[in-house]
Amino acid sequence: MQVAADHALEVADSAPALQGLSPGKLAWRRLRRNKTAMISLGVALFIILISAFAPVVCALLGVSPDGNSDLIADAGRPVSGPTLDHPFGIEPGTGKDILALLLYGARVSLLIALTSVVLTVTIGVLIGTIAAASRGFVDRALTWLMDLTLTFPSLLLLLALSNVMIDRLTALGVPEGNFSRITYLILFFAIFGWPYIARIVRGQVISLREREFVEAATAMGASRRRIILTELVPNLWAPVIVYSSISLPGYIAAEATLSFLGVGTDASLPTWGKLLSDSINYWQTYPSYLLFPSIGLVITVLSFNLFGDAVRDALDPRAGRV
């Protein structure tokens, strides 16, 4: 160690351009060189941005998510297919612009997915760290809780409890309608999603807690809270980033599935899931209604998945050598 440090000093003296790089910086450098990662990150950020500012983007493009009977001919058929004014076409039956619906829908879908990821990861990291750091009975009890949570048929429970729980949320003061429906979904995703990340974090912390820097902190008299919060948790960002970027598309797909099953938001609020399940009925008479939402979903999910894969590769110290 000492020899290497001396050598590094010598090298640094003769060639000041050389710098030591932390593993984080090395990973970031690897990530930046990866074209797929950068493109997928760009696409993902672009989608987040345009959906966050959906009203502005729609105004700029001159499209509107509101129904327009002028655009509907007889029997609910739109007056035209995709045109310059309506690049993705018009929703049959209502005359809403499909591009606008897609943007507004993305906003809701991404909001649900992002909030679920943040909640899941927060709970998972906390419980996983506490389990690993406390050992003994607490660890066993928490691990058991994780296993128990994972054995629940969550989709079934989600369906069975939806009406009751949404009513209860409203009774607790959560605004009625879509707000409480969305809150229910997010809470449900968080309650049944945290064990996955908690398991990963627990494994990570178990391997970290025996390391010298934790021992050093203990020797200096750091409290357990301090060791957990300032020594252990900051070392967990790698699995957290990978898990988040991979689970986000999972939640988008889950929201879509639940909309299909009728548990999602009500008709007034478009989401991707609703667009997909509504549009299937028109696949023959108005294919662009089905085509564009599905392409949008695939591109979004794909970009998050690809980025997550790339982050995992970049963080793997062996990745460069194999």
Residues forming contacts to another protein in the complex (CB under 8 A) are 144, 147-148, 150-153, 155-157, 159-161, 164, 168, 249, 253-254, 256-257, 260-261, 273, 276-277, 280, 283-284, 294, 297-298, 301-302, 305-306, 318, 322
CB of residue 172 vs another protein: minimum separation in angstroms? 13
CB of residue 91 vs another protein: minimum separation in angstroms? 18
281 near 92, Cβ under 8 Å? Answer: no
CB of residue 83 vs another protein: minimum separation in angstroms? 26
Residues 6+ apart with CB under 8 A from 54: 100, 103, 104, 106, 107
Burial 270-298 (b: 16+ CB within 10 A, else e): bbbbbbbbbbeebeeebebbbbbbeebbe
Q: What angle do CA 27, 31, 32 make, to 5 degrees?
A: 120
CB of residue 307 vs another protein: minimum separation in angstroms? 12
Q: Which is nearer to another protein, 82 or 273 (CB)?
A: 273
CA distance 41 to 33: 13
Q: What is the largest CA-CA distance in the chain?
A: 84
CB of residue 240 vs another protein: minimum separation in angstroms? 19
Residue 149: which H helix or E strand, with range?
helix 136-151
CB of residue 146 vs another protein: minimum separation in angstroms? 12
CB of residue 257 vs another protein: minimum separation in angstroms? 5
SS3 content of the chain, % helix, strand, coil (to 5): 75, 0, 25
Q: Which is nearer to another protein, 16 or 136 (CB)?
A: 136
How many Cβ atoms from other residues are within 10 Å of residue 49's Cβ?
Answer: 11
Q: Which is nearer to another protein, 3 or 156 (CB)?
A: 156
CA distance 245 to 279: 28
Q: Which is nearer to another protein, 5 or 164 (CB)?
A: 164
CB of residue 106 vs another protein: minimum separation in angstroms? 15
CA distance 261 to 272: 13
Q: Which is nearer to another protein, 227 or 302 (CB)?
A: 302
Q: Which is nearer to another protein, 71 or 158 (CB)?
A: 158
Q: Which is nearer to another protein, 2 or 284 (CB)?
A: 284
How many Cβ atoms from other residues are within 10 Å of residue 14's Cβ?
Answer: 8
315 near 242, Cβ under 8 Å? Answer: yes
109 near 271, Cβ under 8 Å? Answer: yes
235 near 201, Cβ under 8 Å? Answer: no
Q: Which is nearer to another protein, 69 or 284 (CB)?
A: 284
**Cα-only R_g, the chain:** 25
